[in-house]
Chains A and B, each alone.
Chain A
Amino acid sequence: ETGVTQSPTHLIKTRGQQVTLRCSSQSGHNTVSWYQQALGQGPQFIFQYYREEENGRGNFPPRFSGLQFPNYSSELNVNALELDDSALYLCASSLQAGGGSFGYTFGSGTRLTVV
């Protein structure tokens, strides 16, 4: 299977609820990153996972958490949802080797609306 797939594509949640978003990495990729893209803005880095460990984190509170599984798929969990969490959540996978990686492959994202 090629490409990065994310589920669900759309989601509506109520303020205060919890949400889990899922991502299947591109075949052969060992690193997954999550980004938040508010409407009309560029993506903002949330965190990255490499070999099931968090490998870097952006300026997001602890209620944003993640997991990477042995098959390199990943989850993004957000607790205590706020209205400002409404955004497109993008998953990107890459092959990290040596000093870094390029060629992020992004999924099409999950559109989360918090009401």
Chain B
Amino acid sequence: QKEVEQDPGPLSVPEGAIVSLNCTYSNSAFQYFMWYRQYSRKGPELLMYTYSSGNKEDGRFTAQVDKSSKYISLFIRDSQPSDSATYLCAMSPPNNAGNMLTFGGGTRLMVKP
């Protein structure tokens, strides 16, 4: 079993929909949680990061962490075709805060006009 699990999709939604992306993890030591977006033939780009449990909002993006359930989510409001990409969750324990990330396998999102 992988440390971080993520539904590979693809997830296809109409433009303007609310998108929910999720990851589950097994390592209770993870304290830093990140979401990356990766376009085809590009490197991952950091979207959001959170520490421990709670919510964080940035524009159309909201990240949620539920450490008791070992479950994190990324919500995208008013989705746009330009949001079509692979979304990767990533995590790390506090002793290497933000470094040496453990990634999920990625969810491919397609937003149709």
Measuring CB to CB, which residues of chain A are less than 8 angstroms from any residue of chain B?
Answer: 4, 31, 33, 35, 40-45, 48, 55-56, 58, 90, 92, 94, 96, 99-104, 106-109
Give CA–CA (A5, B88) in the complex, Å.
21
CA A104 – CA B90 in complex, angstroms? 12
Given A42-B88, A101-B98, A102-B49, CB of A108 within 8 Å of CB of B41: yes
Chain A residues with CB under 8 Å of B43's CB are 4, 90, 92, 106-109
B46 near A48: Cβ-Cβ < 8 Å:
no
Docked-complex contact B99 and A41, CB < 8 angstroms = no
Across chains A and B, which 3 residue pairs bring their CB atoms closest together, nearest first?
A100-B97, A106-B43, A42-B103
Which chain A residue shows the least CB distance to B51? Answer: A102
The verdict on A48 contacting B99 (CB below 8 Å), with A40-B8, A108-B42 known, is: yes
Residues from chain A with Cβ under 8 Å of B106 in the complex: 40-42
Cross-chain contact A45 with B98 (CB below 8 angstroms):
no
Look across to chain B and name the residue whose beta carbon is closest to the beta carbon of A96.
B99
**Is there contact, CB below 8 Å, between B99 and A100?**
yes
Q: Which of B1-54 contact A (CB under 8 A)?
A: 4, 6, 8, 32, 34, 41-46, 49
Classify chain B's interface size. Answer: 20 to 34
> Of B42, B94, B96, B104, which contacts A42 at CB under 8 A?
B104
Tell me, in angstroms, the Cα distance from A18 to B76 when the chains sit together.
43
Within the assembled complex, what's the spacing in Å between the Cα atoms of A4 and B103?
20
A106 touching B6 in the complex, CB below 8 Å, given contacts A42-B88, A44-B103, A100-B99: no
Find chain A residues with CB under 8 A from B32 CB: 100, 102
Chain B 85-111: CB-based contact to A (< 8 A → 1; otherwise 0): 000101000101111111111100000
> How far is A102 from B49 in the complex, measured between Cα atoms in Å?
9
Q: How far is the CA of A96 from the CA of B98 in the complex (A)?
A: 9
Instruction: Assess the A45–B101 pair: CB atoms within 8 A.
Output: yes
* Nearest neighbor of A4 in chain B, beta-carbon distance: B43
Chain B CB within 10 Å, residue with most, of A43, A90, A103? A43
In the complex, A3 Cα to B111 Cα: how many Å?
28
